[in-house]
Amino acid sequence: AAAKRKRDVPAARPKKRAKSAPSAPEPDAKPCPDGAGPEEYSIPPPVSQGKWKNKERVLIFSSRGINFRTRHLMQDLRTLMPHSKADTKMDRKDQLFVINEVCEMKNCNKCIFFEAKKKQDLYMWLSNTPQGPSAKFLVQNVHTLAELKMTGNCLRGSRPLLSFDPTFDKEPHYALLKELFIQIFSTPQYHPKSQPFVDHVFTFTVTDERIWFRNYQIIEEDASLVEIGPRFVLNLIKIFQGSFGGPTLYENPHYQSPNMHRRLIRLSVAAKFREKQQVKEVQKVKKTGSKVLIEEDPTEVVFETPAEEKPVEIQLVKPESKPIVKDKKKLRKIQRKKQKKLFRTEA
């Protein structure tokens, strides 16, 4: 009941009740011997109180000379990986082993480095700094989040599931890459910037001697997958024992450099042009060689009558030069004057 207020006396406020989290009795809780109720109540601890043990930090940056698509892809990876860090672009003149010092200054033990060459070729380095190993890839068929425009929207900072092709367990170099991908792309548990949800999947598939990366969102209604991007294809070049260098552990025999690929395209175009020229020459030879020479028939001129021979006339007097008159009226006047002169001479 509400306290009645008296004149010139402040009303006494009721005490606030302490807030308590709703608790449910444990299924295995033993009831009291008196039958009053369960003996103990357990409240599950919040997720944020977990201890962050796996302190993986990934440094994602690039060299100078990258195009807009590479820059957007790098930004998408930073968005999807809450345990990533950024840094300024590295100068082309610097050697690659300098990246180990940059990672040490940024307190990172993994690195994704994008290297651009000739303003058209993109290479990706995945490294475990500073001991190694490291792998170098050629990045092809890049499509960013803004470019795909697919349906789906996963939570920012959520932890992804990693799905690998069965080929990663069959060959040793793929097994090494699988462990490297797990350590780099998986978000550590209880990371401060991560969310305690799993709503998207990173898939790594081996097809045509290349590794295809896809990102799918898990839809809650029917647990189906919808691709949300980004997507790219990694063509393995080499695996090194150290970080950004060292002895070569594996070299891809199926790898073809972009320079060689462009050279083969130019050679194929030149070969087509030479083939067309050869076809034209063969057609010319066929046209000239197809004509059959027919021998002369002696009876062909039997019924031909010879033309009358005209005597040769030799002109001893030089012919009079005709006056060049453009106006026809003047020409007629000149002819009339000549006729008058002839009449006078005859008269």
Amino acid at residue number 213: F
Q: Is 92 helix (H, G, I), strand (E, B) or coil?
A: coil
CA atoms within 13 A on the CB side of 341: 6
Angle at 320 (CA atoms; ends 317, 324), nearest 5 degrees: 160
Q: How do beta strands 225-227 and 231-242 pair? A: unpaired
Distance of CA 93 to the CA centre of its chain: 26
| Domain assignment present for 106 | yes
pLDDT classification of 31: cutoffs 50, 70, 90: very low
- The tokens for 263 are 């050279």
276 inside domain? no
pLDDT of res. 44:
58
Q: At 33, give phi and psi (nearest 5°).
A: -65, -25
Give the range of the structural domain holding residue 68, as residue numbers without chain letter.
Answer: 58-261
For 45, 70, 272, the CA distances from 192, given in Å and listed in that order, are 16, 28, 60
Give the residue among 321, 320, 314, 54 at the shortest CA–CA distance from 189. 54
Residue 287 lies in a domain: no
Is residue 82 within 8 Å of residue 194, measured between CB atoms? yes
Q: What is the pLDDT of residues 157-183, one digit of tens each?
A: 888 999 999 999 999 999 999 999 999
111 within some domain: yes
Instruction: Please give the Cα distance from 154 to 220 (Å, whole number).
Output: 11
Most confident of 167-171, 196-200, 222-226: 167-171
CATH number at residue 75: 3.40.50.10480
Separation CA 315–CA 299 (nearest Å): 40
Average pLDDT over residues 34-63: 70
192 vs 75: CA distance, rounded Å: 20
- Quote the CA–CA distance of 33 and 29 in Å, as a whole number: 12
Burial class (CB in 10 A: 0-12, 13-18, 19+), 248: exposed
Domain assignment of residue 207, yes or no? yes
Q: Which amino acid is at 162?
A: L
Confirm whether 337 is domain-assigned.
no
Measured distance between the N- and C-terminal CA atoms of the chain, rounded to whole angstroms: 166
Confidence label for 343 from pLDDT (cuts 50, 70 and 90) = confident
Q: Is residue 241 part of a domain?
A: yes
Structurally, the chain folds into a number of domains equal to: 1
Tokens 């068929």 — which residue? Answer: 141
Per-residue pLDDT of 86-134, as tens digits, reads: 999 998 888 888 999 999 999 999 999 999 998 889 999 999 988 889 9
Q: How many CA atoms lie within 13 A of 140 on its CB side?
A: 16
pLDDT at 38: 52
Query: Which residues make beta-bridge pairs with 123?
Result: 115, 138
Question: Which pLDDT band holds residue 3 (cuts at 50, 70, 90)?
Answer: very low
State which of 92-101, 246-255, 300-309 shows the largest mean pLDDT. Answer: 246-255
Flag whether 72 is in a domain.
yes
